[in-house]
Structures are given as structure tokens and as C-alpha cells.
Amino acid sequence: MTSPRRTFAIISHPDAGKTTLTEKLLYVGGAIHLAGEVKARGQNRRARSDWMKIEQQRGISVTSSVMTFEKDGVTFNLLDTPGHEDFSEDTYRTLTAVDSAVMVIDAARGIEAQTRKLFEVCRLRNVPIITFVNKVDREGRDPFELLDEVAEMLQLDVCPMSWPVGMGGEFEGVYDLYANTLARPEGGSREFMGAPVAFTGLADPALADTLSPEGLARLRDEAELAQGGYSTFDAEAYRGGDLTPVYFGSALKDFGIAELIGALADYAPPPRAQPAEPAAVAPEGKEVTGFIFKVQANMDPQHRDRIAFMRLCSGTFKRGMKLTPTGHGKPIAVHSPILFFAQDREIADEAFPGDIIGIPNHGTLRVGDTLSEKADVRFTGLPNFAPEILRRVVLKDPTKTKQLRKALDDMAEEGVTQVFYPEIGSNWIIGVVGQLQLDVLLSRLDAEYKVAAALEPAPFDTARWISAGDAGDLKSFTDINRSAMARDRDDNPVFLAKSAWEVGYVADRYPKVKFAATRER
């Protein structure tokens, strides 16, 4: 019997507490010995790699990783999403590989821009959300106001699972509305020490021995209002993406961590069937299948290998197994798959649906690839997003054209940037969804490929993948608009436009041509 899997991500706005919460989850899961190690390890790793200096300078994490931990017989795979505001497609794609998400919001700030964008991606894919309202040990906004904000902004039913007894200076603990337990701040650090006190309910007179009279009165009033005013917990509604259970806590002071892990274990969905052609793939399927949602270079600067991150969708993967990328390439034998335990990379002998495997390769595996034993399925729904920033790449040393092409192709393959080769003219154009990706590109060109290049404004502002039911319609469109036509890395035709308005204008004039802002790989 394999243990149940919970494959999830944490979505949040920078500074809401994702890193702190991650450390605490790993700590409780026994994956690290001391909370704080995640960041320390991160810093060591950064020091080893040049382009990661950007992360350091900006104090952000550009790379995503996978952390696996176990608790009470459940295996948790936590996929990290970059938390900076300037997110990339990487973040989106990571969310295609999870079955659920934890949304962390800062009690003083509520729903912020980045949280909201990431939430929308989750909604697109029906990824159910558990909400964690963090930092209740500090002054925060009124809990009712926060719940209403989640309900209104995200159009979700909310169900408070716990309730803070005051916040900031008046903070006296967090009451679990379902288990009827109170987690109290203790000692000089006012932390939760891991021993909740049980009560028979909110009416239990013993509560008066633990809470101040004001705190108790407040808890009883507020909890009654909260339980009456919001939805009761409904696991089906949660899994359907219609309801979010809300936990109040403090990652820093350990409040709500055990409850959150418990909620993931008890309610979060196990690995789900994944959309694919010719038919969706259920995790119970015998054939080993999976898809690549991320490719990362430079994890080990000693070896210029890449790691392709595959989410296993069905079957029992065994080390040495041969898997074939659908659509291109020969079978590859996966001799040294990697599982990402928080401590170290470990060589995996076996993996199960919901697990993430790192597959070292030299550029054969690409984001969006399906791998399977028989090469008879293809997972769908891993999108490429229309870039929001386009730049012309200008080479300082014209003899380095080949290196530049290789670098741009490599990075397109990793999903760092997109590259477009115009039909007319020799300057290649790169596209990104966030400014930060431009810095990553330049610094990697320099450090890894020894190519000095500059980025100049491109005469275009956006790009659309075009297609038409009839090849003749497509050809007449591309002939007339040749100066705005380019090919992406996979040779798909792309229309480059000066503005979104222009796209609309042109689309109106060519009703038979489809203009897509995303392209499935």
C-alpha cells in the first residue's frame, strides 16, 4: 500500500509569509531539523550560481522547487511558486501540476494583487483552495472584514474553521471551531508550544480560566456570529472549488500549522484525473504517464544538466524505466530520477501518482511534454501565455549568432522567455510576461553562454498565435501581414502587433483567422 498523496502549492503575495509557513510545514513534517534552514540553504545555493544573484539582489526567489515531507502516513508534495510580483509563466505552469492550493493572506492586508492573479489561475483549473490568514499575532484587520473580502473578491463561499481571540496586543490564541480546542500563546515569545487545550464547546465554563473576561466575551460573540453568518464546512463544495475553509494563524508563532496540515490530509483532494487526449488519465491507470511542467538549468553548476520536473499522473514509476516523449524523440531510460526531499536530492526508486520526479537530461525534455510507456497519450492544458513585453535582441559580437540562437532556444524551452523569429529582418525578438525575466535572460546570456547582448525596444507590443480552419485563409493573411509575422520556437506562426487594440482591429478584418493569447503545448 502506498501512502496517500497531497500535491499542493502555496499561493500568496510577497511578504504574506509563504517562506515562513513553508519552513514550519517542513519542520512539522520532520523534513528539516530547524525551521530557518530553508532560507539558509537557499542562500548557499544562490551563492553558487551567478544568475541567481538576481534573486539575492531583489530578495526574491526566481526558481521554484519541490519539497516532499510526510506526516501521519500522508506524503505531501509542496511545489513552490515564485512569490515575487513579477511572476512568470513558471508560476502558472507549476499550478497545473498541483491538486490543491493553500492561499496565504496577511491579516493586515487582505487579498493582494499577486494572490488574486494566482487565485484566478487556480480557478481556471478548478484547483480547490484552503485559506490561511497569517500574522494574527500582530494587529490585523477585523476577521469578518477579511472573510467578506475573500467571499466578495474571489466569489467563494467562506467557512471559518478557527477563530482568533483578538489580534496584536490583545491576541489570546486561536480557537478551533470544529475541534473545540484553544491554542494559546505562551512564554516570553508568545508562541504556541504545541499543546492545545480541549473544551466541550464555546459555552464551556472552563474557558474562563484560560481567557481574560474580555477575550472570552469577544470570542463567544464573534464565533457565534461567524458560525451563523458563513457557510458550514462542506468537503464537496471545497473540492469543487466553490468554498474555501479559512484558518487563522501565525506562521511565525506556530499557530494554525497543525490544523493546516490536518486540513490538507483530511480534505484536500488526492491526485486527480488529468486532462489528456484521447481521454483523461486517472491515477489508477497502470501505464506510467506524466507531464513536464518545468525545466530548470543550473541546479548543479558543476554539471551543465537540466532537470525536467515531471508530475506523475498514473502508474508506478520504477527507476530505470523507459519513457517516451509523445510526439518527438526516442524512449529515454530514466536511470537517475530525483525526488526532492527538503534535505537533499534523493535518488528515487519508486514514485506514485501525484509525485514529482526530477529527470536529468541535456535539453531533450521540454515543458509541456508528455512522457509515457507507450507514447499513446498527450496531456493537454499546459499553456504558453502571450508575452506582455517584447524586446529585440541585439548582439554585440556578430560572430556569436549561433550561441545566441542556442541560448534563446534553450531558455524558450525552459519557459524563461519566449522567442520569435521574424519572417523579415534578422533581429530576433523575445517575449516575456514580466520584467524580471528580462534580467534573468541577460544575465544568463552573459554568464552561461558568454554572449554579450542588449535588449532594445521592439516595434511590437504583443503577440498572438494564429490559426485558421482553411490553409488558404492563413496564407493570405500571412502574405499581407508579412512584416508582422514571426515563428515561435516550434515553428508556429505568430502575429506581432503594436498593441492589443491592433489585435482587435486586425481580428475584426480577418474573421476566419483565430488569434490566440495562449497556446497549448
Burial 14-32 (b: 16+ CB within 10 A, else e): bebbbbbbbbbbbbbbebb
- Alpha carbon distance 73, 426 (integer Å): 58
- Distances, alpha carbon 22 to alpha carbons 13, 25, 90, 102, in Å: 14, 5, 19, 11
The set of cell numbers assigned to 424 is 523579415
Among 2, 3, 15, 435, binds ligand GDP (CB under 6 A): 15
* Pick 12 or 100: Cβ nearer ligand GDP: 12
* Pick 161 or 458: Cβ nearer ligand GDP: 161
**Minimum Å distance from CB 261 to ligand GDP?**
16
Among 83, 271, 431, 493, binds ligand GDP (CB under 6 A): 83
* Pick 114 or 418: Cβ nearer ligand GDP: 114
Among 6, 9, 12, 289, binds ligand GDP (CB under 6 A): 12
Q: Which of 97, 91, 99, 143 is nearest to 118 (CA)?
A: 91
Long-range contacts of 440-445 (CB under 8 A, 24+ apart): 440/51, 440/54, 440/62, 440/416, 441/411, 441/416, 441/417, 443/50, 443/51, 443/53, 443/54, 444/51, 444/407, 444/411, 444/416, 445/404, 445/407
Binding segment for ligand GDP among 14-22, 341-349, 401-409, 420-428 (CB under 6 A)? 14-22
Does residue 250 touch ligand GDP according to CB under 6 A? yes
Does residue 63 touch ligand GDP according to CB under 6 A? no
**Minimum Å distance from CB 108 to ligand GDP?**
9
Q: Which of 226, 222, 272, 221 is nearest to 246 (CA)?
A: 226
Residue 369 annotated as part of some ligand binding site: no
Does residue 19 touch ligand GDP according to CB under 6 A? yes
Among 251, 407, 430, 436, binds ligand GDP (CB under 6 A): 251
Residue 194 annotated as part of some ligand binding site: no
Backbone angles phi, psi at 193, to 5 degrees: -95, 5
Binding to ligand GDP (CB under 6 A) within 116-175 occurs at: 134-135, 137-138
CA dihedral 400, 328, 377, 469 (to 10 degrees): 80
* Pick 28 or 251: Cβ nearer ligand GDP: 251
Among 5, 11, 17, 357, binds ligand GDP (CB under 6 A): 17
Residue 82 annotated as part of some ligand binding site: yes
Does residue 46 touch ligand GDP according to CB under 6 A? no
- Alpha carbon distance 371, 273 (integer Å): 16
Does residue 16 touch ligand GDP according to CB under 6 A? yes
* Pick 134 or 244: Cβ nearer ligand GDP: 134
Convert 330-367 into a string of H (helix), E (strand) and C (coil).
Answer: CCEECCCCEEEECCCEEECCEECCCCEEEEEECCCCCC
**Minimum Å distance from CB 513 to ligand GDP?**
43
- Alpha carbon distance 396, 441 (integer Å): 15
Among 103, 174, 211, 252, binds ligand GDP (CB under 6 A): 252
Binding segment for ligand GDP among 17-25, 49-57, 363-371, 462-470 (CB under 6 A)? 17-25
Does residue 20 touch ligand GDP according to CB under 6 A? yes
* Pick 17 or 368: Cβ nearer ligand GDP: 17
Residue 262 annotated as part of some ligand binding site: no
Q: What is the DSSP letter of 452?
A: -
The separation between the first and the last C-alpha atoms of the chain, rounded to the nearest angstrom, is: 35
- Alpha carbon distance 392, 433 (integer Å): 15
* Pick 263 or 513: Cβ nearer ligand GDP: 263
- Kind of pairing between the strands at 157-160 and 243-248: parallel
DSSP, collapsed to helix, strand or coil, labels residue 227 as helix
- Alpha carbon distance 223, 173 (integer Å): 13
* Pick 16 or 506: Cβ nearer ligand GDP: 16
Residue 362 annotated as part of some ligand binding site: no
* Pick 14 or 358: Cβ nearer ligand GDP: 14
Binding site for ligand GDP (CB under 6 A): 12, 14-20, 83, 134-135, 137-138, 250-253
Binding-site members for GTP are 12-19, 80-84, 134-137
